[in-house]
Amino acid sequence: MFDVIYQILKNFTKTERRIFQVSSALFLISGLLLGILIFLAKTVAVPAPSSLYKEGIIGQPIAVNPILAGANDTDRDLIELLFAGLLDLTENYRHSEDGQTWNLTLKDGLKWSDGKPLTSDDAIFT
């Protein structure tokens, strides 16, 4: 079979050989580009499984403390990410008719980041 192809190519004139080379190059390049386009169309980027979370903020944190945050947007963003709100830590809550007294029941098994239990005294302190 290769002998037949070689004989055909050998019988080409110089112009025919040049046209065959250019058309073969265009055929290979277009096939490669078509393959790349199909690959890109059918490929879906998915995030790698991880427990890592990254978030960028603009500004310099001053006091990353819910009590001292003030009007600094950077501190408020970090506090939102790092600290849970009191109602996030409760199973249920009730308030009096006048809205002056609130009764909260903390969820069981709450712990600080160091493993110590979170108590109602901690909630009252903050």
117 - beta bridge partners? 111
- As a whole-number percent, the residues of the chain with pLDDT over 70 amount to 99
Confidence tier at 88 by pLDDT (50, 70, 90): confident
Q: What is the mean pLDDT of residues 80-96?
A: 84
What's the pTM?
0.42
Q: Which residues, 6 or more positions from 72, have their beta carbon under 8 angstroms from its beta carbon? A: 59, 61, 62, 63
Please, are residues 103 and 95 in contact by the beta-carbon 8 Å criterion?
Answer: yes
Please, are residues 91 and 77 in contact by the beta-carbon 8 Å criterion?
Answer: no
pLDDT at residue 39 in the model: 95
pLDDT of 69 over the 80 cut: no
pLDDT of 36 over the 90 cut: yes
pLDDT of 42 over the 90 cut: yes
pLDDT of 24 over the 80 cut: yes
Please, are residues 90 and 104 in contact by the beta-carbon 8 Å criterion?
Answer: yes
Please, are residues 87 and 93 in contact by the beta-carbon 8 Å criterion?
Answer: yes
Segment 89-94 long-range contacts (CB within 8 Å, at least 24 positions apart) = 89/118, 89/123
pLDDT at residue 113 in the model: 81
